[in-house]
Amino acid sequence: MMLFTQTRGLPVITADAAEPLGRVESLTIDAHTASIACLRLSGAPKHAAVIAWHAVEAVGRDAVIVRSRAAAGPGQGGLPTHHEALGHRVLTELGTEHGTVKDVAFDHTSGHVHTLYTALGEISGDRLLGLGSYAVVVRTETA
């Protein structure tokens, strides 16, 4: 498992040419699949500022490796709109507040969101329903 906070700032390089593309600025979550949809980079050329998760070879403590510059290039249509998860409030579908997102744990291989860490405790990534500009929305916990 990796945390969003551990991933931010990591250099992103290509596997084929060891070419630096930029640094991880943020991760975009696809709430429908409860997984990482793409990386958003800072310091990257415009064509490589967004990299779809399927282009990622590996995520480690020191760097993120993508297959190639071509895999990181344009043509990333169909990605969800980016909304930052960290720092946003968490609400259940019934409107009950559950603090703010402090961190997100995800599988560094598949990109599956495992856990949302909030100010009021942990929430399984499987409960994720939506992510917008106002809040992260999760299913109410069943008894």
CATH code: domain 2-66 is 2.30.30.240
Burial 7-26 (b: 16+ CB within 10 A, else e): beebebbbeeeeeebbbbbb
Asked if 111 and 120 touch (Cβ cutoff 8 Å), the reply is no
Token digits for 10?
A: 């990591």
CATH superfamily entry for domain 89-138 = PRC-barrel domain (2.30.30.240)
Which residues lie closer than 8 Å to 20 by C-beta, 6 or more apart?
Answer: 11, 12, 13
pLDDT at 75: 46
**Tens-of-pLDDT digits for all 143 residues of the chain?**
999 999 999 999 999 888 899 999 999 999 999 999 999 998 866 666 889 999 999 999 999 999 877 766 554 567 788 888 999 999 999 999 999 999 999 999 999 999 999 989 999 999 999 999 999 999 998 75
pLDDT at 141: 81
Asked if 89 and 135 touch (Cβ cutoff 8 Å), the reply is yes
pLDDT at 46: 66
Q: How far apart are CA 25 and CA 7, in angstroms?
A: 9
**Would you list the domain boundaries of the chain?**
2-66, 89-138
pLDDT at 120: 92
pLDDT at 111: 94
Q: How far apart are CA 14 and CA 67, in angstroms?
A: 6
pLDDT at 45: 66
What's the whole-model pTM score?
0.88
Q: How far apart are CA 16 and CA 65, in angstroms?
A: 10
Q: How far apart are CA 121 and CA 57, in angstroms?
A: 31
Q: How far apart are CA 108 and CA 118, in angstroms?
A: 20
89-138 has the same fold as 2-66: yes
